[in-house]
Structure 1
Amino acid sequence: MSRAFKQKNFSTQIFDTKKYRKIDKYFKRDFSIQKFGKKLKEFSPDIVFLIAPMFLKREYFEIIDNFKERNKLKVVGWVGDSFKKEKENIDKISLIDLLYYTDTGYFDIYSADNVEYLPLATDPKIFIDKGFLYKNKYNCSFVASRTPGRAGFLKDLKCCVDVFGPGWNNNDIQGITHNVKKCKLDICQVSNVYARSRMVLNLKNENNVINGLNQRSFDPCAAGSLLLHDYVADIDLNYEVGNEILVFRSKEEFSELYQKCMIDAEFRKKISENGRKRVTSCHTFTNRVEKILMKLR
């Protein structure tokens, strides 16, 4: 998102709260809060863009609120994880001028006039299509952390999938022909896996998704791979299913689509190219920033 704002001629600074957690814990003091207040005063932004605002400490919002009283400032939040409708979270939302959900299911938790839907997106400078002939290393890849639901789906699957991510081990899918690599890939490594894959599997994280899409809903398409996506309700808001991506509701459906794509290279090429065009024209972080800026005008 920072790069996308820069493309719209904004100066940006990133404040990563994760960097200060160990320091805060060690000294038992909120150095991160002090650092944020100082950074906010020095940079004096027009917009504060909060990613995952429900996970931020209340003190961050107090600093932002005090700054807003003396400066022209708009606060935008982007919520990508399910949350509880409790007083602390509602108080946080009340201090945000414009709040976006990546999942339409979150509207059932809390809705207001300043809340809208804004799905995740991709960065086409990182996820690059390297050509159809380049996709010769992996028939179907899946890059994600292990969850019980994902492991259960793969365990009984007859099709071979190359699995990358933390938490996986061969016992999860014992006796199946999957290739499992327990690791944590950086974003460039993920991009390379997608670029070398004929197909990419996407399975939602059952712990925090209701209707929404995740990064794997966009990045593989930008890299020119065919996306095989488990069904979630928001998918119809973002794609023409069957023409730009393929969607399955069961292991049997997945296996049928997998086999069809392996046999029919032209079909696979057509879907992947249509998906790439849709994502690079409609689902980039620049597209998301443009929508936010239009709303703030």
Structure 2
Amino acid sequence: MSAGGYTLPAPAGGAPGRRVERLLLVSPAFHGYHRSIAAAWAQQGFDVTVHTYDAYSTPAMKLRNKALLELPQKAGIDRAAARVAWDTDRAVAALREARPDRVLVIKGDSLGDAFWDEVEALGVPRMLWLYDDLHRHDYSADFLRQVGPVLSYARSETEALAAQGVDAHYMPNGFDPDLAVPRLDRREEVVFVGSRYPNRVELLERLAQAGVPVRAYGRQWSHHPVDRLRTWELRRPDLPAERDIPLEEAYAVQAAAAAAINVHGLQAGHAMRTFEVPGMGGLQFVDRPDVAEFYEPGEEVLVFEDADHLVELAQRVVAEPSWGERIRAAGRRRSHAEHTFAHRAAMAQEWWV
């Protein structure tokens, strides 16, 4: 495959005489989740070829993206159409090169009609997986009715899509157990890894004011001058912070922390972090009571109601580590038994059309 793509063969030992089907996974580059998802689908017996439609991996591509897309966008010039055209052309080329038997598209929010026309012309089973809120995608109900099975990470959005005649299926997010190396060392810090929003800043500041050690990870929190330039921001919250870290390191950081905060806000479904933190052996503070669909609150994760409640839980976890150890061990067992990407991939096999 060209830049932004690779192939992962199915594990040996499939049914004798059965041809291994080729699956093309068309995915955003976001945090490298495509690697874990590709491995999970390979476990289902597919030769998986991955195309990351928004990965600008070569120096020339990065320069073009910065000069022709990012900088004009920062200056108020709408370059969305140019991005769609570029991503679509590359995805069409990847589709023609791979000649797959099946196509799984994740998000696909910068792929234009030419790509979907090419998929339709292939006449192979396909699915569209939305592991983020529907409102973040520019898809009409008519398009979703025609594209084939649509997998949503949110039960409420799955029900809404089905009511509009979409072949919609609920598939929660998951985690990669191969990245979840148990951590026995503990750091007396409550951590947050992810984007900076006002409600997240407020929570971390309340913890710091209460004397709870905290640390945030990500370019929007980092005090590094390069990150200030990359985000076009000079001011930062007065909190301990680190730069962006890869997914594997995020797993390790959250596993070693006294606890890791999972803040959803208005998200419809549960973020990857819901399954990653307990899956890696971390202790999760989560803001969603409906996490009870996946974990037992108080036994496998800790649900906080507001900032005061979060402070109370954090202070207890720091002061009483044995309590937290019992919860993190139970959460890890549940995650590995029920919530890996392999579990999700197996679930999805009955939905191919």
TM-score range, shorter chain: 0.7 to 0.9
> Which deviates more, 12-21 or 78-87?
78-87
Instruction: Specify whether residues 87 and 41 from structure 1 end up closer, same or farther in structure 2 by C-alpha distance, changes over 3 A only.
Output: closer
Residues in 1 aligned to 2:95 and 2:264: alpha-carbon distance in whole angstroms:
36
Aligned-residue RMSD, C-alpha: 2.8
Which amino acid is the alignment partner of residue 120 of structure 1? Answer: N
Instruction: Specify whether residues 113 and 33 from structure 1 end up closer, same or farther in structure 2 by C-alpha distance, changes over 3 A only.
Output: closer
- Aligned residue number for residue 327 of structure 2: 271
Of 121, 125, 139 in structure 1, the residue corresponding to residue 178 of structure 2 is: 125
C-alpha contact 2:109 2:137 (8 A) present in aligned 1: no
CA offsets 1:241-267 (integer angstroms, 9 cap, x no match): 111101011111111211222222222
Q: How many residues align?
A: 282
- Aligned residue number for residue 252 of structure 1: 308
Of 28, 39, 52 in structure 2, the residue corresponding to residue 16 of structure 1 is: 52
Which amino acid is the alignment partner of residue 152 of structure 1? Answer: E
Instruction: Specify whether residues 277 and 151 from structure 1 end up closer, same or farther in structure 2 by C-alpha distance, changes over 3 A only.
Output: same
- The equivalences for 1:155-194 within 5 A come to 155-157=205-207, 158=210, 159-168=212-221, 173-174=237-238, 178-181=239-242, 183-194=243-254
C-alpha contact 1:129 1:224 (8 A) present in aligned 2: yes
- TM-score by length of structure 1 reads 0.84
Which amino acid is the alignment partner of residue 275 of structure 1? Answer: G
SS at 2:192's partner residue?
strand
Residues in 1 aligned to 2:345 and 2:327: alpha-carbon distance in whole angstroms:
27
Residues in 2 aligned to 1:85 and 1:244: alpha-carbon distance in whole angstroms:
31
- TM-score by length of structure 2 reads 0.71
| CA apart distance, 1:19 | 3.1
| CA apart distance, 1:232 | 5.2
Residues in 2 aligned to 1:104 and 1:4: alpha-carbon distance in whole angstroms:
22
CA offsets 1:23-60 (integer angstroms, 9 cap, x no match): 68859694543443343234232321111134432322
> Which deviates more, 15-24 or 281-290?
15-24
SS at 2:182's partner residue?
coil
SS at 1:241's partner residue?
coil
Are residue 66 (structure 1) and residue 121 (structure 2) matched? yes
Of 214, 217, 220 in structure 1, the residue corresponding to residue 271 of structure 2 is: 214
Residues in 2 aligned to 1:283 and 1:118: alpha-carbon distance in whole angstroms:
11
* Stretches of structure 2 lacking an aligned partner (at least 5 in a row): 1-36, 70-81, 224-234
* Stretches of structure 1 lacking an aligned partner (at least 5 in a row): none
C-alpha contact 1:245 1:275 (8 A) present in aligned 2: yes
Residues in 2 aligned to 1:138 and 1:46: alpha-carbon distance in whole angstroms:
50
- The equivalences for 1:1-297 within 5 A come to 1-19=37-55, 30=85, 32-68=87-123, 73-84=124-135, 88-107=139-158, 110-111=161-162, 112=165, 114-131=167-184, 134-135=185-186, 137-157=187-207, 158=210, 159-168=212-221, 173-174=237-238, 178-181=239-242, 183-204=243-264, 206=266, 209-210=267-268, 212-231=269-288, 233=290, 235-296=291-352
